[in-house]
Amino acid sequence: MNQDYITPDKWSIIEEGFDPENVESSESLFSLGNGAMGQRANFEEDYSGRTFQGSYIAGVYYPDKTRVGWWKNGYPEYFAKVLNAPNWIGIQVFINGTPLDLNTCKKISHFRRELNMKEGWYNREFAVILPNGIELAVNVTRFLSMDLDEVGAIKYKLTCLNASAEIKFVPYLDSGIKNQDSNWDDKFWNTTKIVSEGHRAFIEAHTMKTNFATCTFMESYMELNGNKLDAKPSEITGQDRVGLAYQQQVQKGDTLTLIKFGGYTVSRNHPPSKLVQVAKRNLQEATELGVERLLERQKSAWAKIWERSDITIEGDVKAQQGIRFNIYQLNQTYLGKDSRLNIGPKGFTGEKYGGSTYWDTEAYCIPFYMSTKNQQVARNLLEYRYNHLEKAIENAQKLGFSNGAALYPMVTMNGEECHNEWEITFQEIHRNGAMAFAMFNYYRYTGDYTYIAEMGLEVLIAIARFWYQRASFSTPKNKYVILGVTGPNEYENNVNNNWYTNYIAQWCINYTLEQLQKVKDGHPEDYDRVIGKTKLTAVETDQWEEVAKKMYFPYSEEHSVFLQQDGFLDKELVPAADLPKTHRPINQKWSWDRILRSPYIKQADTLQGFYFFEDHFTQKELERHFDFYEPFTVHESSLSPCVHSIQAAKLDRMEQAYDFYLRTSRLDLDDYNNEVNEGLHITSMAGTWMSIVEGFGGMRVSDDKLSFTPRIPEQWDSYSFKVDFRNRILKVTVTREDVSFDLEGADEMSIRVQGNRVVLKGRNTVKL
């Protein structure tokens, strides 16, 4: 935990004062992104202290060779690594020849950062005394344009406070960068061409192996006290690097500003031969607009996003800051414009986890994007998996499955599995279930059945085939069992009959059988096409049905709960609260075997099933399971507190729900798990959104209608959120006394509030 260094504020993330210990954490927290690229909040000027440099381009990765001590058959050949891309933000600053470096200054008398989430920009201001005695005030604003999404802008203002001096700015581009997680000191980029033309420079480089071609570009000019200078720079070219040196004599009190535009053009979006040309067009547009007008456009782009997705909380600044930070980061990461992209668990804020797509997308992110964006965005996320179906079938084949059974990868960039730990890659197979659940969830929310008919059914058949083959018959139990899996709780490996896995396997088969019938009845042409393609027979579906019908679920009569897996009760069931504080987080303090034989749960597992399939269980059952499992849950996965918050709210345990809400919404801001330096937890931020809308707001969809059971934590005066439900925008405001619904437009809309039917038109208020 590092709770106190971010200043609470409704719309901004603010750090006051300079602490080198916080540099790497702040680099994560103040990250910028615009869906197409992103970067950690590294300083523009040189910094010789500890830092984690990172700049990332959406979809650009490196297939790092899988290297393990002992190879296991079935491992993928490579692990897709998120690639640190060439640096375009760098500006070296020299004052009378002395470099500006916050790590070597005599004194830092003022330091402040602000990430303005409302408007989408990042500012850093500081005042320092250099080793040579010169006192400086610096103010830097940076943003990645939502409008021109290949361009970012920096306005670097510097004032000499106590003397006149010669200032040298060297804005530069650098493609000689490495990944921090590059254990093997590999180089991932090959620089092919470095060009400078006047105020502009370009580096063409491509990634090794994947051969993504990029042009990293920049253009700069200076202003003295607001007046543009026409000083010509001199070029300084190194290996993998080009800088343009601007020199200027300034008087005491003068403000010299360097304005820099930069960014990338990439062969994912343009022909490789046109990258420089497109880069020039970008620079042309940006400089013609100028930094101020570009910033105006940035503000209005963000205003539009907030208009659809903002959640307000009155009476609790930290809670308000938390939810906006989550919504902001989700929108920096993924905007749904490019269906080849997906939502990486660290977004553009770090290297960890490699790859871009986990089951997080289907299990946690879909509801946020369905409710706050056009429904095509969620559909794109589903189509992403349909497009990877062939690869998922190949993946299953590698593991010994046949007849078109599919196992979706644990981690992927292009549909291929690119994770290589056997206990995850081969065993965390429940991910297959999330693919089917997302379809169910999408249809339930949007009412759009065409995805299932046109594409989804094929995916469902392949998944059902997998579950059928993966289950095996246990003679002593006279049931089908699923042996050797890792459930959502990754603190258990190679267990038998993980309840969640068995449950979602059974559900997948039954859901597939239902959809087969439904497509047959409603979309006979699609049905014929799919049956023809998959060669599905009645014998096969009968076999599936048999397995689903006789699926085994571990259960404790004594506790009246489903067991997370066989043998769970043999563990020493000491509640996590009884562990010494020095042992937490256990994943940083305990060896793996100790974690595995403990009862401690990384994230909701049985309770995840209760979340997905809540209609299948009574409130009493939920309560028993929550009471049984939560005390052993250490929430060391970012995906844990949100589900627990939703369920605590459902059980009317508002104090607990509120604590979990804070934990999920401020996970990174308060660094609960001591790891924010590595980057942010992006996908779980969608879970934070759910913990308000589904948790406190109690929003559900049933029978094609929204329903609400609003609750409010006692720390709050009111809160509001907005959803787009089937192309109608509904704003929900909950106060301590009532709930108001504002339906945009002239239509009527029927909903349920606390079980009662309400027909909305315009504004309606219901007493609680």
Please identify, using beta-carbon distances, which residue of 339 and 474 lies nearer to a copy of itself. 474
Residue ranges with strand state E in 69-224: 78-82, 91-95, 98-99, 107-116, 121-129, 135-144, 151-160, 165-174, 189-197, 200-207, 213-224
Q: How many residues does the chain have?
A: 768
CB of 419 to a copy of itself, least distance (A): 8
Per rule CB under 8 A, is residue 481 in the interface with a copy of itself? Answer: yes
Q: Which of 228, 304, 533, 594 binds a copy of itself (CB under 8 A)?
A: 594
CB of 429 to a copy of itself, least distance (A): 8
Please identify, using beta-carbon distances, which residue of 209 and 571 lies nearer to a copy of itself. 571
CA-to-CA dists, residue 621 to 573, 625, 630, 709, angstroms: 20, 6, 14, 19
Of 206-214, 320-328, 370-378, 398-406, which segment contacts a copy of itself by CB under 8 A? Answer: 398-406
Of 44-52, 116-124, 433-441, 588-596, which segment contacts a copy of itself by CB under 8 A? Answer: 588-596
Question: Is the bond preceding 585 in cis, omega lying within 30 degrees of 0?
Answer: yes
Q: Which of 288, 525, 570, 703 binds a copy of itself (CB under 8 A)?
A: 570
Q: Which of 477, 533, 549, 763 binds a copy of itself (CB under 8 A)?
A: 477
Please identify, using beta-carbon distances, which residue of 359 and 445 lies nearer to a copy of itself. 359
Q: What φ, ψ does residue 508 adopt, rounded to 5°?
A: -60, -45
Binding residue count for a copy of itself, defined by CB under 8 A: 51
CA–CA separation, 305 and 278 (whole Å): 27
Q: Is 744 a catalytic residue?
A: no
Q: Which of 10, 209, 398, 518 binds a copy of itself (CB under 8 A)?
A: 398
Is 360 labeled as ligand-binding? yes
Contact 79, 62 (CB under 8 A): no
Q: What does the DSSP 8-state code read for residue 453?
A: I
First to last CA, the chain: 36
Per rule CB under 8 A, is residue 427 in the interface with a copy of itself? Answer: yes
| Active-site residue, selected from the candidate residues 27, 119, 351, 490 | 490
CB of 473 to a copy of itself, least distance (A): 7
Per rule CB under 8 A, is residue 588 in the interface with a copy of itself? Answer: yes
Sheet with strand 700-702: strands edge to edge: 700-702, 705-708, 749-753, 756-760
Contact 358, 367 (CB under 8 A): no
Per rule CB under 8 A, is residue 187 in the interface with a copy of itself? Answer: no
Binding mask 439-468 for a copy of itself (x = CB under 8 A): ------------------------------
Using DSSP's 3-state secondary structure scheme, residue 747 falls into coil
Residue type, 263: G
The encoded tokens of residue 338 equal: 């490019």
Q: How far does CA 253 lie from the centroid of its chain? A: 44
The encoded tokens of residue 269 equal: 């979006």
Q: Checking DSSP bridges between strand 55-57 and strand 37-39, what pairing results, if any?
A: antiparallel
Contact 299, 273 (CB under 8 A): no
CB of 281 to a copy of itself, least distance (A): 41
CA–CA separation, 621 and 740 (whole Å): 31
Query: Site residues for a copy of itself, window 52-91 (CB under 8 A)?
Result: 66-70, 72-74, 79
CA–CA separation, 302 and 290 (whole Å): 19
Please identify, using beta-carbon distances, which residue of 193 and 597 lies nearer to a copy of itself. 597
Of 433-441, 470-478, 646-654, 678-686, which segment contacts a copy of itself by CB under 8 A? Answer: 470-478
Per rule CB under 8 A, is residue 472 in the interface with a copy of itself? Answer: yes
Please identify, using beta-carbon distances, which residue of 419 and 650 lies nearer to a copy of itself. 419
Whose tokens are 């997302």? That residue is 438
Closest CA to 705 of 744, 752, 748: 752
Is 602 labeled as ligand-binding? yes
Q: Which of 97, 183, 703, 756 binds a copy of itself (CB under 8 A)?
A: 183
Per rule CB under 8 A, is residue 229 in the interface with a copy of itself? Answer: no
Of 48-56, 194-202, 229-237, 475-483, which segment contacts a copy of itself by CB under 8 A? Answer: 475-483
CA–CA separation, 643 and 625 (whole Å): 13
Q: How far does CA 662 lie from the centroid of its chain? A: 18
Per rule CB under 8 A, is residue 475 in the interface with a copy of itself? Answer: yes
Please enumerate, by residue number, every residue annotated as part of a binding site: 359-360, 602-603
Residues binding a copy of itself (CB under 8 A): 66-70, 72-74, 79, 183-184, 398-400, 419-422, 426-427, 472-477, 481, 483-484, 493-496, 558, 566-567, 569-573, 587-594, 596-597
Catalytic positions are 490
Residue list for the binding site for substrate: 359-360, 602-603
